[in-house]
Amino acid sequence: MSANLRDLYQQVIMDHNKKPRNFREMDNANHLAHGNNPLCGDALVVFVKLDDDVIEDLSFQGSGCAISVASASLMTEALKGKTLEQAEHIYQQMHKQLTGEEFEQTALGKLAVLGGVKEFPARVKCATLSWHTMHAAMDSDHDISVTTE
Amino acid sequence: MLDIQTIRKDFPILDQQVNGYPLVYLDNAATSQKPVQVIDAVANYYRQDNANVHRGVHLLSQRATDAYEGARSKVRGFLNANSDKEIVFVRGATEAINLIAQSFVRPNIKAGDEIVISHMEHHANIVPWQMLCEQTGAILKIIPMTTVGELDLSTIDELLNERTKILAVGHVSNALGTINPIKELIRKAHAKGIPVLIDGAQAVPHMVVDVQQLDCDFYVLSGHKMFAPTGIGALYGKQELLAAMPPWQGGGDMILSVSFEHTQYNELPYKFEAGTPNIAGAIGMGVAIDYMQNLGIANLAQHEHDLLVAATEKVTALEGVRIIGTAKQKASVLSFMIEGVHPHDVGTIFDQQGVAIRTGHHCAQPVMQFFGIAATARASFAFYNTMEEVDALIDSIKKVQELFA
């Protein structure tokens, strides 16, 4: 198997794909957004419970490829308990990592496992879908839809 | 008996490495590769003959016109149409369907009338009709599908009725490979006076088509799926129907005379070819037809059938792989799901082994919804594919299963 493929489908990613964390509907969410990638049919919902500017709870539901499910799962773990400002910073660094720009390694921690995706330009959208959807949810106080392709 | 290795030498693109492996191109239903004869014809046209058609008195214009009209005759022969006047050059099957929707159906349809398509159509044979329904208040009716991916004709006698203004159906499904019983459908529709459009984009690369024998009213195709360049296709229409239709787009070449008071439209088929056409593309399509006919379309079909049968048997023998679309009559296409793995991941892993397949909804989302899935992985064969490439497909499936075990 190629080194690129091993980088893309790391153990952590396979694990989060098989057993996605925070994969549930949230009854008391005060922000939520729908994300769709019409090209590959990936569709997910991101639920957020904000307490002032702290992300008290974050979850998602939906279906997609291993990269999109693992990215969403890792995102919920990384951002839970963070302030909006901290979350925004991680979001920006994550975006830079996936598009091959310079980024702050320390800000990403475990999310670094998604770095292999940048070698697969056709798959970057899979990894960013949940992040864009989360971002849209934070920015809006009503149900909103995000589309990437 | 075809000599596939010799044939492959005509397709320079096939001779390359992808991610360290020999390219195995199994995405022919998306677009086909082009033989060097087609590539040279396009290049030579620009090197030697390029000029505008139907207007110059100079030699190059004459040569360009002869080559362009020669290509039209080849398409006529390819479809066994009665006259060159029945062959309209278009950008592809999509444009042809839009043309028929707007120029043939729209003037004769009103609110409450019906348009019948099937559950198996790709978006090009759905959306133009939906747009027409929005414009006119007509209603879109759908021929249902069975779980093996065949048309369910149990309600066809009610679906085709006095309100039906057209039946538009695919000859071969791009997502499932099903060959539809179009002759029977055409007969049933005609018995009630309903005109029929056949979307042949996925059929013409794989089988002999005879529009007179089918008796369809319209037949549409895309060049790029039959070894010709992109941006060229053809609409066949029965002459009396085309003659009665208003033009589709206005411009040069589709007129006989223009004044500010009155414009007289050109005769068939030029009435439907406004503006300078894709001359090189049409010439390339003509050469692609020559190429297929020289090899013998029946021979090509037999070889592809052997590939599809072998691939189907081998995939069926694998644990944890499900074939989507198991109709009795199929051409070229093997859509499948690997248990527990999203098709998008399948596509990436295949690509890393040099195997190019399509993953996604194949621009046929209603088909995906029917099977309760978002996407499939799809291998689709052309005559230049080999049994070794079928094995590469099987090896790649095993690789995916190993990785996701």
* Cα distance between residue A78 and residue A9, in whole Å: 19
Question: Cβ–Cβ of B343/A65 closer than 8 Å?
Answer: yes
Which residue among B360, B399, B404 places its CB closest to the CB of A40? B360
| pLDDT band at residue A37 using 50, 70 and 90 as cut-offs | confident
Percent of chain B residues topping a pLDDT of 70:
100
CA-based nearest residue to B231, from B93, B98, B92: B92
Q: Domain ranges in chain B?
A: 4-27+296-403, 39-294
Measured between beta carbons, the chain B residues lying within 8 angstroms of A127 are: none
CA nearest to B361 within chain A:
A40
**Mind telling me the catalytic residues of B?**
363
* Cα distance between residue A117 and residue A98, in whole Å: 7
| pLDDT band at residue A5 using 50, 70 and 90 as cut-offs | confident
CATH assignment at residue A99: 3.90.1010.10
pLDDT single digits (tens) B314-351: 999 999 999 999 999 999 999 999 999 999 999 999 99
Contact, B198 vs B182, CB < 8 A? yes
| Backbone dihedral angles phi then psi of residue A145, each to the nearest 5 degrees | -115, 140
Q: What is the pLDDT of residue A1?
A: 63
Contacts of B72 (CB under 8 A, 6+ apart): B84, B87, B89, B269, B282, B286
- B55 vs A142, more confident: B55
CA nearest to B346 within chain A:
A65
Q: What is the mean pLDDT of residues B83-109?
A: 98
Question: Cβ–Cβ of A65/B345 closer than 8 Å?
Answer: yes
Size of interface A-B (CB pairs under 8 A): 53
Contact, B177 vs B332, CB < 8 A? yes
Is the pLDDT at A140 greater than 80? The verdict is: no
pLDDT single digits (tens) B346-391: 999 999 999 999 998 888 888 888 998 888 999 999 999 999 999 9
CA-based nearest residue to B87, from B97, B99, B75, B78: B75
**Which one-letter amino acid corresponds to residue B328?**
K
* Cα distance between residue A11 and residue A6, in whole Å: 9
CA-based nearest residue to B308, from B243, B246, B396, B390: B390
Would you say domain B39-294 falls under CATH 3.60.21.10?
A: no
Is the pLDDT at B245 greater than 70? The verdict is: yes
- Fold (CATH) for B4-27+296-403: Aspartate Aminotransferase, domain 1 (3.90.1150)
Question: Cβ–Cβ of B348/A120 closer than 8 Å?
Answer: yes
Q: What is the pLDDT of residue B38?
A: 98
Q: How far is A33 from chain B (nearest CA, A)?
A: 20
- Residue A133's domain comprises 3-147
Q: What is the DSSP letter of B84?
A: G
pLDDT single digits (tens) B254-270: 888 888 888 889 999 99
* Cα distance between residue B335 and residue B311, in whole Å: 11
Q: What is the pLDDT of residue B400?
A: 96
Percent of chain B residues topping a pLDDT of 90:
91
* Cα distance between residue B210 and residue B198, in whole Å: 12
Cis amide leading into B181 (omega within 30):
no
> Count of alpha carbons within 13 Å of B278, Cβ hemisphere only?
21
How many domains does the structure of chain A reveal?
A: 1
Question: Cβ–Cβ of B345/A63 closer than 8 Å?
Answer: no
Q: What is the pLDDT of residue A148?
A: 66
ipTM: 0.87
pLDDT single digits (tens) B41-72: 999 999 999 999 987 789 999 999 999 999 99
pLDDT single digits (tens) B173-222: 999 999 999 999 999 999 999 999 999 999 999 999 999 999 999 999 99
* Cα distance between residue B156 and residue B150, in whole Å: 13
Altogether, the residues listed in chain A come to a count of 149
> Global pTM?
0.93
